[in-house]
Amino acid sequence: MVIRGLFDPPAPREYTQPVTLFGELKHLKKNPQTKENLELQDEALALLTRVAKQVEPIMKPRGWNVPVLKEILPASAGLGGFNKNKGREIALRLRPHNTTSTLLHFEQVLAVMCHELAHNVH
């Protein structure tokens, strides 16, 4: 008898139609606190898109989807993101805490995204 591990993907299955793993990708256009336009809007959307594409191979075999993946600018320096309702919405910090004129490195955002995806099951 084979016992499947907790992190083993489910057995492969046939997809009869394209699977949409992400609904909306939302980047911030204005700073929520100051209401000023944010710099690097196109780059922020590109970063969010790249992170989404990178985790699709993890999500697809598990049947996960994320209707809303969005950027946040949390007041807390320690908050990198959050997962609402087991993946119905995932929010990620894309910019450093003290400045909105630069973006975090792809690897940093990807690590937070993987952490938030883990909350789909835990």
For residue range 20-33, what is the model confidence (pLDDT) as tens digits? 678 878 877 877 76
Split into its structural domains, the chain has a count of 1
Q: Which two tokens stand for residue 41?
A: 């809007």
* Residue type (1 letter), 33: Q
Structural contact between residues 27 and 45, judged by C-beta atoms closer than 8 angstroms: yes
pLDDT at 19 over 60: no
Q: Which two tokens stand for residue 90?
A: 């995932």
Structural contact between residues 55 and 117, judged by C-beta atoms closer than 8 angstroms: yes
Question: Quick one: CA dihedral 43, 49, 54, 55, positive or negative?
Answer: positive
Q: What is the predicted pLDDT for the residue at 9?
A: 57
Residue 82 parent element (H or E): strand 81-84
Is 12 inside a domain boundary? Answer: no
* Residue type (1 letter), 38: L
Q: What is the predicted pLDDT for the residue at 22?
A: 81
Is 53 inside a domain boundary? Answer: yes
Is 10 inside a domain boundary? Answer: no
Is 101 inside a domain boundary? Answer: yes
Is 102 inside a domain boundary? Answer: yes
Say which residue, 15 or 80, is predicted with more confidence: 80
- Helical H runs in the chain? 41-59, 106-118
Among 112, 4, 3, smallest CA distance to 62 is for 4
Residue 12 parent element (H or E): none
pLDDT in tens, 52-80: 999 999 999 999 999 999 999 988 999 99
Is 2 inside a domain boundary? Answer: no
Confidence class for position 122, pLDDT limits 50, 70, 90: confident
Say which residue, 14 or 5, is predicted with more confidence: 5
pLDDT at 48 over 50: yes
Range of the domain at 101: 36-118
